[in-house]
Structure 1
Amino acid sequence: MTFSVSWHTLLDELDDLPEGATLITPLSHDRFRVTDVQEQRVVIEFLDRDIDETRPLQRDQFETLYRRITEEPGGFELDRLPPNADPYPAVLSVHPRFEIDEDQGMIAEKEGSTTSQLLDVRDESEESEEERTEPDLDVYADALLLVDALERHEMEVLEDMDTDALVNLYTLLSDVQRNANDLRKDVADVLLNRLHHDRPVSGPFGSVQRTTRRNRSLKDDEEVLGTLEGAGIDRERVLGVDRDKVDDALDVTELSESDVYEVEESEYVRKAEVDEERKETRLQGLKDQLAASEDEEAEDLRREIEDLEDRIDELTSFRTGAEVQE
């Protein structure tokens, strides 16, 4: 199949997308929508960016990507995309024969129907009718208690708070930190399978990137000393195999680090940045929306909050043994 045929099939598929359909880029996970479909380009609009939100994607760039995918066995590695080019494979995945495998970091041509980077399109009224469910997570319950504690006390001057209030606050902060860190590690394990490059992947509140950590440990003392002596370094110079002395010796020899160190590498997800202003704006927007709304859903939410406060009072209030027996 020629590119011209594939291109016009893609344009037809884009024209048929439902209104409000949202796509997501495979590397940066930016959400965007197709706003215009033309013979020589596709115009998209990013939903999570404050600048450069509108961008044209040119036909000739799609053709270049098409040829790389079809000419290489197994498809094209997404890591090889130029910077800011990941909207192209996201749009191309709307074509019925092209599919992105984020776990493998590839886009390939397939036979038969394929999946795309199109997010689920649901009617807004259906979303509003969905029941709110409480996640079965320890950190969720601890966070609710912590929020309630923070709202009940004047936090500007901790020195003015009562000792029992400080004890409760410290306990809740410790529980939230421990449980949140456990959940953070679980999330990081999943993210590691989705980060295929050294560029940060952004979300609404911040970004993360894949980072390599190196841990060194010296080999057996006699092996290290023998290796250094063979390179002309006196045993007394590094006697005791002090790490600093070994490093000094490596600087004046042709030995490599791996000759005297056991080097292990492990990968982890590192927080790259946090958009505090975006978080504060989002939180304030939620508060304003609830305060201004007069519909039944908002009233139900207010009642849920009141019920939650009653439950928190019951859980956190101190009762003596005599009170319990009464």
Structure 2
Amino acid sequence: MEFDTVWRELRDRGETLGPDEVLVTPGSERPFDCVTAETDRIVVEFVREGAERSLWRDQFQVLFDRLETDADGVSLTDLPAGVEPYVAVMSLSSRYGVDDAGGRFHRAGTSASAESPFRRPAWTARTSAERVRDDAVLLADALEREHVDDPRSVEPASLVDLYVLLSDVQHGADRLRRELGDLLLNYIGPDARLHGRFGSVHRTTRERRRLRDEEAVFDALDERGIPHSWVTGIDTEKLDVVIAVTDLEERAVYDVDEQVYVQKTAVEEGEKQSRLQGLMDRLAGVETEEAAELRADIRAIEDRIDAVVTAG
């Protein structure tokens, strides 16, 4: 198969991406659409930035030639940012795939995935802020419907939904909190505070210790006349190996405390979409101030879910 054939395949498949689908770059997970496919380029638009970029035919051929001559392909973790969208688009071709470990992009073989791992439903390519907003709306609705003040009266299935939403909001909000915190450091100098409507923040410095290598530690002890035996002890990693290969029982050398807890194992994104659409439908006929505020919260995500719901 010559490059011209691959190029035609890429142009055709790029134009057949559904309205509810996007491609994401392998490393940075930036979602983008294929806008047009021309003779010498494929024009893409990055969804979050709203910026268009041309991916040139001759650059695709450079990548094609590399993959033809190198059976190992290219490492996805080492891709320059500018090459990532080229790889994502080339993954649409049946000629290429990603190995089972997800680490390399190469000519398709028995270990390659059948579908492009970079082709995603647009719903799953939301920004951190969009995910937190959507989950917060769903959580607010669930808390309104369920009698959480008396959790024992809530049906187990509803408890599961509440637990999953609380978990999603917690983790999503924490990721977003860290992103915003890193940004705030640019505005807050040492010993300075920054005030907002709901509170204040200030710069905090915390020391984290990391043990130096053994030789450096022992040299420091020797300089001060401290016996090595004062700091040497049982190596837990070595002890675990002994437990694994002998009849030494774990409880003979460890105090083991058992903790039972609930762990989230799955999230039904389709049900989230459906519920959000249902909320908007219910609010359409309600004319109250609270309903207007909630409509405003949901309106931003209505356009994203319309295409998904219409597609069935």
Considering only CA atoms, is the larger Rg found in Structure 1 or Structure 2? 1
Q: Same fold (TM over 0.5)?
A: no
> Smaller-chain TM-score range?
0.3 to 0.5
Which structure: greater strand fraction? Answer: 1
TM-score (norm 1): 0.42
TM-score (norm 2): 0.43
